[in-house]
Structure 1
């Protein structure tokens, strides 16, 4: 995997319509799930009680919160693309995000990204990116959708 390095709005525009790449795999651990539960106050047993989940859930194990997998977007995105010469980056929008399957504890996930469009908003780049979180050895992705970042270049 090689990271795409982008230094300007003009360079970003050159990637419009192209797949930018795929991140490394990241393993979602029970510790990470528990920390996310504590941060969001979402202690639903399907996430935080391994014994009960093993016995009673249709997944046979605890699962990551859907929003935990979404919160990994910025971390995995920076493995795919490195944006330089930035004053600021803003998370702007998530559109049509669909959760396709649960992510069980100890699953390995990665992000695949394609730059759909780039608009110049008076020097600020509005980048719409198609994202898919793949689960290693799974037929369906954890989720897919479109995110939008605003890049304020120097």
Structure 2
């Protein structure tokens, strides 16, 4: 996949895997920082010894919402930049499922398939991705989701044939 594409190229990518992100290590420091930022310090996330002894996970796990929030970083490393885009906006998620826990120290990466791309108004392209976050050396993914984003662009850059 090229690192950069034009607005006119996007429609040809529907149905294709358009990117696989770099690996991200989800370590205890990241989990602790997320817990502090979100005020969610449940022991299964922040107390390694207690989580090892009292949880079914054998240690601490990342918050599901931490994994979800890392999709932005995965997006940046995986998806081709749309040349004409002036701004990207999160629109929302459908069918979001936290399938398997991400244990502290695990590496994860995102797989992005462009499910739909449609122009909206004169200066927006809505992109819908089927996303899977893989956990290295695990059979089940951390999460699956359908994610819609908006690529904002100048109206004069809109392709003629859409």
Q: Is the pair's TM-score, using the shorter chain for normalization, greater than 0.5? A: yes
Pairwise mapping of residues 1-154 of structure 1 onto structure 2 (< 5 A)? 4-8=3-7, 10-83=8-81, 84-122=83-121, 123-154=123-154
Could you tell me how far 1:48 is from its partner in structure 2?
Answer: 0.3
In 1, Cα distance between equivalents of 2:46 and 2:101: 14
Alpha-carbon contact 2:21-2:77 (below 8 Å) kept:
yes
Alpha-carbon contact 2:43-2:51 (below 8 Å) kept:
yes
Using structure 2 for the length normalisation, give the TM-score: 0.89
Could you tell me how far 1:4 is from its partner in structure 2?
Answer: 3.7
Q: Which runs of 5+ in 2 are unaligned?
A: 155-162
1:114-133 deviations in Å (ceiling 9; x for gaps):
00010111231000000000
Q: Which runs of 5+ in 1 are unaligned?
A: none
1:12-64 deviations in Å (ceiling 9; x for gaps):
22211111121111110100000000110000000000110111110101000
The structure having more radius of gyration, on CA atoms, is 2
1:85-125 deviations in Å (ceiling 9; x for gaps):
32221100100101111110000100001000101112310
In 1, Cα distance between equivalents of 2:75 and 2:88: 13
What secondary structure sits across from 2:45 in the alignment?
helix
Using structure 1 for the length normalisation, give the TM-score: 0.94
